[in-house]
Amino acid sequence: MIKPVLSVLAAAVLSACSLAPTYQLPAAPVAGDFPVNAPGAGAAAAPAADGKAAVDTGWRDFFADDRLRSLIATALGNNRDLRTAALRIEEARAAYNITRADRLPSVNAGLTGTRARGADFRNTPGQGGVGEYYDAGISIPAFELDFFGRVRNLSAAALSSYLATDEARRAAQISTVAEVAKAYFTERAYAEQQRIAQATYEARRRTYDLTRQRLEVGASSLLDLRLNETLMETARAQALALARQRAQAENALTLLVGAPPAQAASGPMADDRQIDAMSAVPAGLPSDLLTRRPDIRAAEQRLRAANANIGAARAAFFPRISLTAALGSSSPEFSGLFDSGTKTWSFVPQLAVPIFDAGRNRANLNLAEVRKDIAVADYERTIQVAFREVADALAARSYLADQVAAQRAIQEAQAERLRLLQLRFENGVASTLDVLDAQRELFDAEQQLVQARLLRTTSAIDLYRALGGGLQ
Greater pLDDT, 213 or 9: 213
Residue 472 is assigned to a structural domain of this protein: no
Q: What total of structural domains would you count in the chain?
A: 1
What pLDDT, on a 0 to 100 scale, did the predictor assign at position 47?
A: 43
119 band by pLDDT with thresholds 50, 70 and 90: low
Greater pLDDT, 41 or 346: 346
User: Which residues face 327 on adjacent strands?
Assistant: 138, 345
What pLDDT, on a 0 to 100 scale, did the predictor assign at position 49?
A: 37
Residue 180 is assigned to a structural domain of this protein: yes
What pLDDT, on a 0 to 100 scale, did the predictor assign at position 41?
A: 37
Query: Letter for the amino acid at 407?
Result: Q
* CATH number of the domain to which 252 belongs: 1.20.1600.10
Instruction: Point out the least confidently predicted range of 69-73, 113-117, 161-165.
Output: 113-117
Distances (CA, A) of 56 to 60, 62, 162, 290, 471: 12, 10, 25, 15, 9
Contact criterion met (CB below 8 Å) for 403 and 313:
no
State how far the Cα of 135 lies from the Cα of 299, in Å rounded to an integer: 52
Residue 113 is assigned to a structural domain of this protein: no
What pLDDT, on a 0 to 100 scale, did the predictor assign at position 241?
A: 95
Read off φ and ψ for residue 115, nearest 5 degrees. Answer: -130, 120
Residue 111 is assigned to a structural domain of this protein: no
Share of the chain above pLDDT 90, in %: 32
Is a pLDDT exceeding 50 seen at residue 42?
no
The distance in angstroms from the start CA to the end CA of the chain is 56
Residue 301 is assigned to a structural domain of this protein: yes
What pLDDT, on a 0 to 100 scale, did the predictor assign at position 264?
A: 56
State how far the Cα of 418 lies from the Cα of 409, in Å rounded to an integer: 14
Residue 72 is assigned to a structural domain of this protein: yes
What pLDDT, on a 0 to 100 scale, did the predictor assign at position 120?
A: 59
Residue 132 is assigned to a structural domain of this protein: no
Contact criterion met (CB below 8 Å) for 457 and 270:
yes
pLDDT digits (tens, 9 = 90+) for 134-145: 888 888 888 888
Is a pLDDT exceeding 70 seen at residue 210?
yes
What pLDDT, on a 0 to 100 scale, did the predictor assign at position 15?
A: 47
pTM over 0.75: yes
pLDDT digits (tens, 9 = 90+) for 275-327: 888 888 888 778 778 888 899 999 999 999 999 999 989 888 888 888 888 88
Residue 259 is assigned to a structural domain of this protein: yes
Question: What residue numbers bound the domain in which 367 lies?
Answer: 2-103+146-318+354-466
331 band by pLDDT with thresholds 50, 70 and 90: confident
45 band by pLDDT with thresholds 50, 70 and 90: very low
pLDDT digits (tens, 9 = 90+) for 365-405: 999 999 999 999 999 999 999 999 999 999 998 899 999 99
- Rounded to the nearest 10 degrees, how much is the dihedral formed by the CA atoms of 381, 309, 170, 463? -10
Taking only Cα atoms into account, the Rg of the chain, rounded to an integer number of angstroms, comes to 38
Contact criterion met (CB below 8 Å) for 372 and 307:
yes
pLDDT digits (tens, 9 = 90+) for 341-370: 778 888 888 888 888 888 888 998 999 999
